[in-house]
Structure 1
Amino acid sequence: MLPTPDLSHLTQKDYEHVYEPAEDTFILLDALEKDAGVLQELKPRLCLEVGSGSGCVSAFLGKILGKADALYLCTDINLHATQSTLKTGEQNDVPLNPVLASLTRPLTARLHHAVDILIFNPPYVPTTTIEAVGAQAGRDIQGSWAGGNDGMQVTNELLESVESLLSPQGLFYLVAVKQNNIPKISHHMLERYGLISEVVLQRRAGREHLHILKFMHLWHDSHLLRVV
């Protein structure tokens, strides 16, 4: 079992502006570790985490992949988060490259079908649309949890770009909760973009029923999916 990345360089003051790793983070780490063999076999050249926050998840991915010759890109709308991500990479000897950006907007065209591992732990808490828009505009910690209608407002925007970002062998890992309507997400991605999916892990954490979904192209090797 791989240890959680060292975040001792981050202080409580940092966590006033940056999402502190919690149960949704840890189930994502567990899902990536569960898929470690698949990820290593993939031999990724480009990994992209959207909304990297503290940088914990990308640092963990770097430990799974070891000395793999991969580029680790990490976007976040929050300047404090990009700074924390950079420090976390340095603390854990993983070369993370944070980019201050909303989702993948400045990168989407240049990364066309180039991303081998795409990760997103989105703001998934259902809120009003106004609250979600305000949270994204504020570019601070509220943007890490306020998800708008059904908690899908920000996620839906990224889902439009996933197929164009993924390489032919690419994998996309998404954190979702039951209220996000997981069957609807899976059906939408298959019908509109030809991406098949499975639930890698699911776990209850208080009132939340967390799921980690994995998506890939329809023509992908079938042995990488356990349940479609």
Structure 2
Amino acid sequence: METPFLKSDLFLNEYNTVYEPSEDTFILIDALEIDLNLIRSLKPVICVEIGCGSGIVLTAVGKALSNDCHFFLGTDVNEKAAQLSQHCALGNGIHIFEAVVTDLLSAFDARLMHCVDLLIFNPPYVVTPNDEIEKSAISRSWAGGENGRVVIDRFINTVVPQITSETCLIYLVVIQENKPEEIIDAMRICGFYYSKIMLERKCKNERLKVIRFCRQKYD
């Protein structure tokens, strides 16, 4: 899967407010590339990335699935991130793309009810004090509060049951400190009975994992 081109001048202007593409960004792209044939075979209509940041991941998916998927939606709580994502997509020829400023998918819950076929989330997973989350625009992109799970748990409890289609694939980035086994159990309660660690990679003091969740067993 081709890594998108992002104009350096656009990112340099926002580097202190928008999460820079990092190792967790690229392990997520690599995991999605492994599953590209499976994703295509399910003929996704709507693809969503929560916390789209620079737009690199969703644009890479858009380039790979532009002939298969009807619409790509990115959301971020950070207005600068949403703007940068839109620039990234358009600059790489993806025009069926919308980046929206919203918390998780709160602006779309009703309209996307059971409609999302591919859901991607690289959440703020770093273990921090809970009050770190709201300190700044950039801290909201990485600060995860207790066990790094404050935003992840909200995602599981409020987003997953509402907007996922019957064949939806979910790709979630976590670290070991997030207690992945508990996350897998919580996703089972939402009907996503099958999980698979697509990739695992050590980066500095973190052990990154990308977990795929689905309702049906594919491999």
The normalised TM-score by structure 1 is: 0.91
Match of 2:138 in 1: 141
Match of 1:201 in 2: 199
Match of 1:8 in 2: 7
Aligned CA distance change for structure 1 residues 66 and 106 (closer, same or farther; 3 Å)? closer
Aligned CA distance change for structure 1 residues 28 and 69 (closer, same or farther; 3 Å)? closer
Match of 2:94 in 1: 94
Q: Note the aligned Cα RMSD (angstroms).
A: 1.2
Match of 2:163 in 1: 165
Match of 1:19 in 2: 19
CA contact (8 A) 1:40 1:64 kept: no
Shift of 1:8: 2.2
CA contact (8 A) 2:6 2:88 kept: yes
2:211 to 210, 213, 216: 213
AA of the residue aligned to 2:37: G
Show CA shifts across 1:7-40 (max 9, x none). 1253322211111100000000000000010111
How far apart, in 1, do the equivalents of 2:15 and 2:29 lie?
A: 19
How far apart, in 2, do the equivalents of 1:69 and 1:102 lie?
A: 24
How far apart, in 1, do the equivalents of 2:106 and 2:213 lie?
A: 20
Task: Extract unaligned runs of 5+ from structure 2.
Answer: none
Match of 1:128 in 2: 129
Aligned CA distance change for structure 1 residues 69 and 173 (closer, same or farther; 3 Å)? closer
CA contact (8 A) 2:132 2:139 kept: no
Shift of 1:164: 2.1
Shift of 1:3: 2.7
Task: Extract unaligned runs of 5+ from structure 1.
Answer: none
How far apart, in 2, do the equivalents of 1:22 and 1:84 lie?
A: 16
Match of 2:32 in 1: 32
How far apart, in 1, do the equivalents of 2:114 and 2:69 lie?
A: 18
Show CA shifts across 1:95-121 (max 9, x none). 220111000111112111100000000
The normalised TM-score by structure 2 is: 0.94
Aligned length, in residue pairs: 215
CA contact (8 A) 2:148 2:177 kept: yes
CA contact (8 A) 1:163 1:195 kept: no
How far apart, in 2, do the equivalents of 1:56 and 1:77 lie?
A: 17
Match of 1:108 in 2: 109
Structure 1's consecutive aligned runs of 4 or more residues displaced over 2 angstroms after TM superposition are 8-11
AA of the residue aligned to 1:32: L
How far apart, in 2, do the equivalents of 1:112 and 1:119 lie?
A: 16
Percent of aligned pairs sharing the same letter? 38
